[in-house]
Copies of this chain bind each other. A is one copy, B any other.
Amino acid sequence: MAQAARLSGFPEWLPADRIVEERVIDLLKHTFELNGFAALHTRAVEPIAALAKEGEIDKEVFAVSRLHEEPGDAKTPLGLHFDLTVPFARYVVENAGHLAFPFKRYQIQPVWRGERPQDGRYREFIQADIDIVAEDTLPDHFEVEVPLVMAQAFGELAELGVPPVRILANNRRLLEGFTRGLGLEDVTPVLRCIDKLDKIGPDRVGELLAAEAGADAAQQRLLLDLAAIESTTGEFAEAVTALGITDPLLDEGLESLTRLLDAANRQQPGIVVAQLKIARGLDYYTGSVYETQLVGHESIGSVASGGRYDALATTGKKTYPGVGMSIGVSRLMSRLVGRNRMVQASRSVPSAVLVAVSDESHRDDAAAVANLLRRRGIPVDVSPSASKFGKQIKYADRRGIPFVWFLDGETGHEVKDIRSGEQISADPELWAPPVEDLWPSVSKVTAAD
């Protein structure tokens, strides 16, 4: 017996909303594949040792163990992956001999984090990742390609009614170089403090910078000034230079971010914004870092994040630097189908047609017509009972199935559009629904809905 026991942080959608989610995922897959990314699927578990060392994420790991341990069981403690980057890096190292580099893959799977559930934040959620890894060295142009593919993907999603996005970019080398140029040696606490800016504001970040990174008042001010810089063109670089800090790593970072903004402005103007407070929580980023705001829904946080990592996938002897971004599909869904629904499916089932059954002895005939239509690519359901036709039409109506097929109308086979009431005679070898009715459509909720 199953019992109603909703678990906070483990979202599940109703069938019509799963159609929305499937459509989102299909569009993402299609965009990624058009851009040459190969599909990949990795196991859900990793050795805990591989998960619990990436910074603040440690305390969010879910451990997995046999309920009844057996003598033959592996001794490696396991946990559920909290992202798709760590498993991918492990996969690359394990399979390097069989992969062609640079290797571009996408991966759409659930991940698990023991976060406190809140608006748009779940304990189990679907991510859609793209990554490119190279052998030994990763050309910088991939740091441009990844956010532009994501911009393309969001462009496709806009057709479903997903709001526009702004991709915010920064560069860890810029932040690290600036920090060193300031005379602070330990960069990690500085990054963690800056990452909290939107949550706690500049005053408290200043205090934190003093407490955790040993920054004096001047250093705090300069870091906060840096973090306030933002531009949609290469202008940000002048603003940084005006702060008067110099460092070779800072120059590298400025150059890389400038290249990204220039290319983005040539290919998809305005969508990528340099925002120097973007730091990202995870320790493994070493170059570009990205976050993505859903315009008008900034409060749910980033819907697509990532960056460049140079040392995540390495055997010690060999290194596979990479760059990637990850869309939070479930977080996006929380807005698309949440309280203020933005997107809806036209029906809750795939079927375009319901074949009516006049009495149970003719169920085989109805099944035969359904199979004829299916063989021609039309999704069809057969009425579950030989009840009155009015009741069978209600069955279709309740699910949004637009057409009902009758085997014994006045002219023989007839099909009724239950929205208009129009009923015409039809040949199951020839008739097809209008293309917009063939599969459920997904579209923006309008005021009229």
State the CA gap A102–B387 with chains docked (Å): 14
Q: Does A447 contact B (CB under 8 A)?
A: no
Q: Does A424 contact B (CB under 8 A)?
A: no
Q: Does A233 contact B (CB under 8 A)?
A: no
Q: Which residues of B contact A8 (CB under 8 A)?
A: 74
Q: Which of A254-273 contact B (CB under 8 A)?
A: 263, 266-267
Q: Does A104 contact B (CB under 8 A)?
A: yes
Q: Does A14 contact B (CB under 8 A)?
A: yes
Q: Are A41 and B21 in contact (CB under 8 A)?
A: yes
- Segment at the B interface, from A161-169, A222-230, A306-314, A402-410: A306-314
Q: Does A419 contact B (CB under 8 A)?
A: no
Q: Are B98 and A7 in contact (CB under 8 A)?
A: no
A375 → chain B closest CB, angstroms: 9
A120 → chain B closest CB, angstroms: 17
- Segment at the B interface, from A83-91, A242-250, A295-303, A426-434: A83-91
State the CA gap A116–B326 with chains docked (Å): 34
Q: Which of A127-155 contact B (CB under 8 A)?
A: 134, 139, 141-142, 145
Q: Does A38 contact B (CB under 8 A)?
A: yes
Partner of A12, one of B41, B116, B142: B41
Q: Does A241 contact B (CB under 8 A)?
A: no
Partner of A59, one of B5, B68, B139, B311: B68
Q: Which of A271-326 contact B (CB under 8 A)?
A: 311-316
Q: Does A189 contact B (CB under 8 A)?
A: no
Q: Which residues of B contact A315 (CB under 8 A)?
A: 3-4
Q: Does A43 contact B (CB under 8 A)?
A: yes
Q: Are A80 and B64 in contact (CB under 8 A)?
A: yes
Q: Are B67 and A52 in contact (CB under 8 A)?
A: yes
Q: Are B89 and A139 in contact (CB under 8 A)?
A: no
- Segment at the B interface, from A179-187, A190-198, A210-218, A344-352: A344-352
A95 → chain B closest CB, angstroms: 6
A226 → chain B closest CB, angstroms: 30
Q: Which residues of B contact A312 (CB under 8 A)?
A: 1-2
19 pairs, A vs B, C-beta closer than 8 Å: A1-B316, A4-B90, A7-B43, A13-B41, A14-B99, A15-B103, A19-B38, A36-B349, A36-B382, A44-B44, A44-B110, A62-B66, A63-B64, A72-B116, A73-B114, A100-B398, A139-B384, A141-B384, A263-B364
With contacts A68-B114, A267-B367 known, what are 9 further pairs, Cβ within 8 A? A4-B90, A6-B94, A8-B74, A15-B105, A18-B40, A34-B377, A39-B350, A61-B66, A100-B348
Listed in ascending order, the chain A residues whose CB lies under 8 Å from chain B are 1-8, 10-15, 18-19, 21-22, 33-45, 47-48, 50, 52, 58-59, 61-68, 70, 72-74, 76, 78-80, 86, 89-95, 98-100, 102-105, 110, 112, 114, 116, 124, 134, 139, 141-142, 145, 263, 266-267, 311-316, 348-351, 360, 363-364, 367-368, 371, 374, 377-382, 384-385, 395, 398-399, 439
